[in-house]
Structure 1
Amino acid sequence: MLDWDDLRFFLAIARTGSLSAAARELRVTQSTVGRRLASLESGLGTRLLHRTPDGYVPTLAGEAILGQVERVETEVLAVERTTGGHDALLEGVVRVTAVETLASHVLIPAFCALQRGTPEIGIELLADVRHLSLAMREADIALRLTRFEQHDLVTRRIGTMAHGLYASPAYLNRYGAPDFAAGCPGHRLVTGLDGAEVTQAARWMTEAAPRAAVALQTDSPEAQLQAALCGEGMACLSRLRGDAFGAALLRLRSPWPQAVVEIWLAVHKDNRRTPRIRLVLDAVTAAVRDRASDLDPPESPGPVELVA
């Protein structure tokens, strides 16, 4: 008889293309992934995945069952969500995914306070640039800086986060004040990688400094901040982080208003009434709203200038 758990391993390898990536997704060892795949193929008497120089790809037999296995996964997850939704106990693990800045500087203090009062609830916080799937149970709660598009989620906007353009005094001494009217020629930028950037902030930087050269790209907002502190270039950072460094990191006043992005919270509709998830949802909402003045401080009035 087929074991869904074995099929789950096959599906993870087929999606990721490697044993190591599947192991990270399933949170097991690479040897376990290989062993479970071998067990499944042995039981079925056929190869399901073929190893190529570019990774694992489904064989003809694997292609034939892939859609069926995905449908089984959908049904199993629906059963888990339905039964989980009736769990009345304030205990268990809640997995939260959020962008790095919010995860480290807004959610961690709130979760520490929450667990002092409810130690039975465990929290897994994923500071990830990827958009993890709530439908596939990759996370229970998601906090993003863009709207959610899935139709099976309950979403709401819980705040806004302002961004500004920052540079260190050492950088400005070396390159001078940027000429925004001319598009900042001769200047350098520290930016996010494609898929990891905050869309509104990236668009704002493109408009403010179209003639500046990109010096460094990273998928980590904290790495962008450190690069700006080191004088590598100008960086579009959240006001929450950039303003915290005072004279070590100067906010540059451009002719454009600061970039402001919306903070969106989501949970799968089948999980929204699960007590432990509900409690964490409330804690996330309260944490963001309590830090509203830090996340989106008012723009300073006045002409174009450097602001310490």
Structure 2
Amino acid sequence: MLDWDDLRFFLAIARLRSLSAAARELRVTQSTVGRRLASLESGLRARLLHRTPEGYVPTLAGEAIMGQAERVEAEMRAVERTVGGRDAQLEGVVRVTAVETLASHVLAPCIAALQAGSPEVALELVADVRHLSLSMREADIAVRLAPFEGHDLVARRIGTLSYALYASPAYLERQGEPDFAAGCAGHRLVAGLDGAEVPQVAGWLAELAARATVALRTDSPEAQLRAALCGAGIACLARLRGDAFAAQLRRIEPPGVPVTAVGIWLAVHKDNRRTPRIRLVLDAVVAAFRDQAALLDPPLSRDAGNPD
């Protein structure tokens, strides 16, 4: 008889293309993943995945059942959410995901304060450039720098994060002041890695410095900050980080160009928003971003490393 739970293992391998990666995702051993795939293939009497040098890829049979397997998975997730949404207990685990800057400088202090008053709630904070899925229960609460899509989510804008350009005095002394009218020709940039950038910020930087050379790309905002501090080039940083290093970085304000800012969005799956422990964390996160509004989107002045 077919074990429908084996479909979870098939989908994980097909998506991640690796037994070891699927094992980490499912929190089981690699041998368990291999065994469950073999069980499913035996029950269906068909090879579903083919191992290639680039990883596992679906066979024709695997492709044929992929859509059905995903529908079964979605229904099982819906059952879990229905049951979880009726959980009246405050205690339990709540997983929150956000980009590194917000996770480190807003959510970590928020969670520490929440733990002091509600130690029965166990919190997991995932700082990841990947968008973990709320529908697939990869996270309970998500904070992103872009609006959410999906009819099964409840989302709201909870703040604004502003950005500016920064460089070390040593770099500017070596390279000279950037000429934005000339697209910053002759200058070097410290930029986000493709796929990990905030699109609005990346577009703003590309427009301002179209003729500059990208010296470094990284998916870590903290690595961008450290590289700028070391004189690697001009970096577009969240002002809550760049302005904090006013003694070591100069904020560069292109003439006539407003500082760019992006919305901060919060979302939860609609079936979970009234679960007490998730509601508790949601309220704390909203309050934390409200309290930090002036840090996240400070007024423009010339007191953050810019000489008069």
The answer, yes or no, to whether TM exceeds 0.5 is: yes
Aligned partner of 1:262 in structure 2 is: 263
Aligned partner of 2:72 in structure 1 is: 72
Aligned partner of 1:238 in structure 2 is: 238
Aligned partner of 2:83 in structure 1 is: 83
What pairs up with 1:103-182 in 2 under 5 angstroms?
103-182=103-182
Query: Structure 1: which 5+ residue stretches go unaligned?
Result: none
TM-score by length of 2: 0.95
Secondary structure of the 1:207 match is: helix
Structure 1 distance, partners of 2:205, 2:306, is 16
Secondary structure of the 1:247 match is: coil
Structure 2 distance, partners of 1:306, 1:244, is 13
Shift of 1:181: 2.3
Aligned partner of 1:185 in structure 2 is: 185
TM-score by length of 1: 0.95
Structure 1 distance, partners of 2:77, 2:251, is 47
Structure 2 distance, partners of 1:215, 1:31, is 43
Structure 1 distance, partners of 2:49, 2:181, is 56
Structure 2 distance, partners of 1:254, 1:233, is 16
Structure 1 distance, partners of 2:296, 2:25, is 32
1:188–1:233 Cα contact (<8 Å) kept: yes
Structure 1 distance, partners of 2:294, 2:83, is 39
Shift of 1:32: 2.7
1:172-223 CA deviation, whole Å, 9 max, x = no partner?
A: 1211111122221110001011221112211221222111111110111111
1:55-99 CA deviation, whole Å, 9 max, x = no partner?
A: 111223322322221111011000111111110101111111101
Q: Residue type of the partner of 2:186?
A: G
1:188–1:214 Cα contact (<8 Å) kept: yes
Shift of 1:47: 2.1
1:257–1:299 Cα contact (<8 Å) kept: no
Secondary structure of the 2:231 match is: coil
Structure 1 distance, partners of 2:71, 2:6, is 15
RMSD of aligned Cα (Å): 1.7
Shift of 1:44: 3.6
Structure 2 distance, partners of 1:60, 1:234, is 49
Query: Structure 2: which 5+ residue stretches go unaligned?
Result: none
1:166–1:228 Cα contact (<8 Å) kept: yes
Q: Residue type of the partner of 1:143?
A: V
- State how many pairs are aligned: 306
Identity over aligned residues, as a percent?
76
What pairs up with 1:1-308 in 2 under 5 angstroms?
1-255=1-255, 256-300=257-301, 306-307=306-307
Instruction: Return closer, same or farther for 1:209/1:24 CA change in 2, 3 Å cut-off.
Output: same
Secondary structure of the 2:5 match is: helix
